[in-house]
């Protein structure tokens, strides 16, 4: 529905052109031929399109049109949350109210079309009327995501279609039942052995730490978090807790090599591989490689800021840096093209999420603007995700550099 409105308002050829010139980003969909001809676009692909479509039509046809689309998209995303409190419901209600306030701009742009591709001048859409019931329903019976059929529909692939490809297509029913029975036994065995091992770890840790109750509590809490990560989902690989690793490295300061390859900043942990992508590179060579003309100036500004404010202060990010006249205390750099970043769940604050890899490669013949993942970085000391939302953030292209 949202995409069709944009196609009618902007024009299929214009919208396709704007999508075709987007810089390809690793891990996100890139539609070389545009989106107007796509069929049966659902789930994650549809969400990727919605994320980008606001940006490519930001200047047409009117600000109210963009606000209406943004509000409806925000309502769709927020309603999928696994946990919601009264503040979340109020935000959800405001998003829906904003859409209804600005929705007439969609009709004014002639974006609503019916059969025969004829414009429609009304909002007689049953789904929009049903949206009024979403918030009262959540208050009475819980979040809407619990009613989704995505999990059971996907189970048809993992439990039926994928195992079928490994069979000989004879006596199908007995083979698939035997496969499911064995898979369930493996899951239960892993569950039992994991719980047993965690119990042993807690008991061993309690004996080794003696009467240090506070340390025991912290380590038991870490083990509980690890247990939660290990047990769900089923046979998946355990989640590595880089927060625990970084805390252990800090406590072992003086006995481990520095700078640390795992370190935490607020509610985020960064993890580097032991070997960088480029072992040794001069500052000017790095500036030429990544086409960062002000890299020496940016590094000198960072050195001055850290000297004046200490290593724990949040350095400013973004903008062009002018030369400070400072001679850098180093000549060589180590460069990582990718690193891992880990945070906590938005709703369950003590649950560690799986680490994500951020990638950034320098410009080349094939990729004149380089290839990179996109991330949001806090630029203000008062910004603390997720409490402050997206206030005080920017969108840098990460390449991690350490001074050699």
How confident is the model over 262-275, as pLDDT tens digits? 888 778 899 998 88
pLDDT higher than threshold 80 for residue 32: no
What is the predicted pLDDT for the residue at 136? 94
pLDDT higher than threshold 50 for residue 201: yes
What is the predicted pLDDT for the residue at 97? 94
What is the predicted pLDDT for the residue at 140? 92
Question: What are 269's two structure tokens?
Answer: 């942990």
What is the predicted pLDDT for the residue at 217? 46
What is the predicted pLDDT for the residue at 235? 40
Report the 3 state secondary structure along 318-378.
Answer: CCCCCCCCCCCCCCEEEEECEEEEECECCCCCCCECCCEEEEEECCCCCCCCCEECCCCEE
Q: What is the pTM of this model?
A: 0.56
Share of the chain above pLDDT 70, in %: 73
- Confidence class for position 26, pLDDT limits 50, 70, 90: very low
Question: What are 104's two structure tokens?
Answer: 């007439």
Pairing of the two strands 268-271 and 393-394 = unpaired
Contact assessment for residue 41 and residue 87, using Cβ atoms and an 8 Å cutoff: no
pLDDT digits (tens, 9 = 90+) for 207-219: 555 544 444 444 4
What is the predicted pLDDT for the residue at 28? 46
> Pick from 70, 138, 79: which is nearest to 99 by CA?
70
Higher pLDDT, 205 or 67: 67
Higher pLDDT, 217 or 316: 316
What is the predicted pLDDT for the residue at 59? 59
> Pick from 84, 45, 153, 150: which is nearest to 346 by CA?
84
Contact assessment for residue 249 and residue 262, using Cβ atoms and an 8 Å cutoff: yes
Contact assessment for residue 119 and residue 85, using Cβ atoms and an 8 Å cutoff: no
Instruction: Show the DSSP H helices in 168-282 as ranges.
Output: 172-209, 213-231, 242-251
Contact assessment for residue 31 and residue 11, using Cβ atoms and an 8 Å cutoff: no
- Confidence class for position 89, pLDDT limits 50, 70, 90: very high
pLDDT digits (tens, 9 = 90+) for 182-198: 889 998 998 898 888 88
What is the predicted pLDDT for the residue at 11? 79
What is the predicted pLDDT for the residue at 206? 59
Pick from 42-56, 218-232, 301-315 the range whose average pLDDT is largest.
301-315
Q: What is the mean pLDDT of residues 33-37?
A: 64
> Pick from 128, 120, 129, 95: which is nearest to 5 by CA?
120
- Flag the least confident range among 72-81, 134-143, 343-352: 343-352
Higher pLDDT, 97 or 176: 97
**What does pLDDT average to over the chain?**
77
- Confidence class for position 393, pLDDT limits 50, 70, 90: low
Distance of CA 23 to the CA centre of its chain: 19
Note every long-range contact of 383-392, with CB atoms under 8 Å and residues 24 or more positions apart, other chains counting.
384/266, 384/267, 385/266, 385/267, 385/268, 385/343, 386/346
Query: With the CA atoms of 182, 187, 188 and 193 taken in that order, what torsion angle do they form, in degrees rounded to the nearest 10?
Result: 120
């Amino acid at each position: 529905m949202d995409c069709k409105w944009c196609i009618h308002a902007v024009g299929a050829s214009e919208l396709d052109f704007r999508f075709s010139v987007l810089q390809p980003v690793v891990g996100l969909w890139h539609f070389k031929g545009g989106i107007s001809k796509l069929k049966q676009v659902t789930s994650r692909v549809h969400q990727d399109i919605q994320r980008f479509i606001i940006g490519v039509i930001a200047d047409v046809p009117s600000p109210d049109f963009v606000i209406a689309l943004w509000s409806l998209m925000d309502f769709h995303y927020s309603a999928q949350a696994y946990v919601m409190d009264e503040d979340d419901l109020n935000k959800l209600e405001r998003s829906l109210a904003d859409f209804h306030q600005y929705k007439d701009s969609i009709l004014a742009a002639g974006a609503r079309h019916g059969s025969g591709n004829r414009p429609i001048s009304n909002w007689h859409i049953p789904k929009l009327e049903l949206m009024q019931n979403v918030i009262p329903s959540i208050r009475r019976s819980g979040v809407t995501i619990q009613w989704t059929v995505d999990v059971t529909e996907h189970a048809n692939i993992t439990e039926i279609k994928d195992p079928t490809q490994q069979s000989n297509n004879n006596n199908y029913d007995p083979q698939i039942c035997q496969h499911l029975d064995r898979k369930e036994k493996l899951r239960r065995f892993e569950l039992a052995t994991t719980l047993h091992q965690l119990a042993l770890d807690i008991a061993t840790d309690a004996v080794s730490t003696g009467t240090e109750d506070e340390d025991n509590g912290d380590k038991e809490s870490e083990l509980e978090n690890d247990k939660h990560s290990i047990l769900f989902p089923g046979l998946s690989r355990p989640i590595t807790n880089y927060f625990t690793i970084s805390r252990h490295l800090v406590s072992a300061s003086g006995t481990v090599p520095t700078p640390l390859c795992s370190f935490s900043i607020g509610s985020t942990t960064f993890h580097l591989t032991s070997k960088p992508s480029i072992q040794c590179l001069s500052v000017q060579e790095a500036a030429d490689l990544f086409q960062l003309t002000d890299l020496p100036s940016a590094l000198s500004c960072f050195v001055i800021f850290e000297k004046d404010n200490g290593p724990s202060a949040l350095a400013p990010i973004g903008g062009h840096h002018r030369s400070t006249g400072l001679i850098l205390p180093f000549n060589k750099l180590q460069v990582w093209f990718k690193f891992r970043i880990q945070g906590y769940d938005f709703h369950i604050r003590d649950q560690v999420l799986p680490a994500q890899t951020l990638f950034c490669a320098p410009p080349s013949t094939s990729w004149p603007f380089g290839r990179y993942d996109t991330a949001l970085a806090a630029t203000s000391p008062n910004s603390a995700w997720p409490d402050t939302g997206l206030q005080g953030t920017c969108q840098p292209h990460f390449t991690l550099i350490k001074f050699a």
